[in-house]
Chains A and B, each alone.
Chain A
């Protein structure tokens, strides 16, 4: 079974703090994704990475950056957290090579106060 893990289930941070969310997958998947999920808005893509050291912006990249130094690890960085970044953050991975199913981690519920 594909396993995607995220470093924290719940996180509370203050406005202006730098926040790191970590995601690790154990199936040698090429592609990794960061989404945020908000009521009524569904899942929105923040950033994705097709390979190590590669990154591409999704639909809502503003206020976020990412890092992928190793194939199994994809980090989401909130440079200066704001209250409108309070959300559920979901990491996903996908094998790539023509296979499209994405597998999700358990999510990190981030609250910015």
Chain B
């Protein structure tokens, strides 16, 4: 079993939809959680960073962490075609290295 599981998709939604992306993990030592966005043929860019449990909002993006369930989510409101990308979750613990999910490919249709 992988330490971090992420549904690879692909996920296709109409413009304006609310998108929910999720990861589950098995390592209870993970304390900080990130979401990266990766456009085709580009490197990942940091989108959201959350420490421990709770919610964090940044514009149309909301990151949620539920450590009791070992489950993290990224919500995208009013999705746009420019949101079409692969979204990677990443998490880390005391070792200070990150463990990445395999990514979910999202397409937002105009």
Contact = CB atoms under 8 A, between A and B. Distances in A.
Interface of A: 4, 40-43, 45, 48, 58, 90, 100-107, 109
Interface stretch (B13-21, B42-50, B55-63, B74-82): B42-50
B42 A106 contact: yes
A104 B46 CA distance: 8
Interface of B: 6, 8, 32, 34, 36, 41-46, 49, 88, 90, 92, 96-98, 100-103
Contact of A42 (B32, B96, B100): B100
A42 B88 CA distance: 8
Contact of A45 (B6, B43, B97, B102): B97
Main secondary structure of the interface of B (DSSP, over half): strand
Given A100-B92, A100-B96, A42 B102 contact: yes
17 contacts: A42-B88, A42-B100, A42-B101, A43-B44, A45-B97, A58-B97, A100-B34, A100-B96, A100-B98, A101-B34, A101-B46, A101-B49, A103-B46, A104-B36, A104-B43, A105-B43, A107-B42
B90 to A, nearest CB: 8
Nearest to A96: B96
Contacts of B43: 4, 90, 104-107
